Every structure is written in structure tokens, then in C-alpha cells.
Amino acid sequence: MESRLHKVQRDGLVVKTYRLLPYKDIIEILNTEDTAFFEDSKEKPLKPGTMWKAARHLSELMGKTIRAQRGVLRLNASESVQGYLFFVVNPGSARPKDKRA
């Protein structure tokens, strides 16, 4: 089946919308042995189950165990954002190490 584009002229016709995660970009970050932080939207927050499924999909794509964990990223001294941290699970490790100074 070919993909097709439809013009929607009235609200209410679309039953469900989906947001796609940038899997390619997340994999690039995880391959450098860093952790990836996906900022959550305040208007439509992501569900924990969605992030769990994303981590499972990333695990399948990468051949490694990936976990997603809710967290807060500090951008500077006065600003922070909420979202989900994706990280590669090392054998014997359940969470990424806290890198606070």
C-alpha cells in the first residue's frame, strides 16, 4: 500500500494523532556511550508506557538493552525541562550514574 496525503478541512475528523520519536538521532547519541534526553511537551505529555515501548524498540534496533527513565534536565542555573532519559544498560547496572557535582 502506498502512502497518501489527505487534506483535512474540519476538526473532529481525525480520531487519533501520533508523535514519532527521532529513533535515528537517539541511536546516534546512544552509540557514543552517552545518554539521550527526550524533552517532554507540556501540552501533550508522553505516557510512561509509550516511552517503555520506545526503549524496547530501541533495544531491538541496537541489539542492546535500552531503558527509559523519567527525569529532569538542568539547562542552566535557573531553567530545567522534564522528559525521558534513554540509556544503555550495562550488565549489573540498573540506572545511569548520577553526574551531579
pLDDT tens across 33-81, in order? Answer: 888 998 888 887 888 998 999 999 999 999 999 999 998 888 888 988 8
- Give domain limits for the chain: 23-88
Q: How far apart are CA 38 and CA 89, in angstroms?
A: 17
Residue 73's closest CA among 47, 44, 43, 34? Answer: 34
Determine contact, residues 84/68, Cβ cutoff 8 Å: yes
How much is the pTM? 0.69
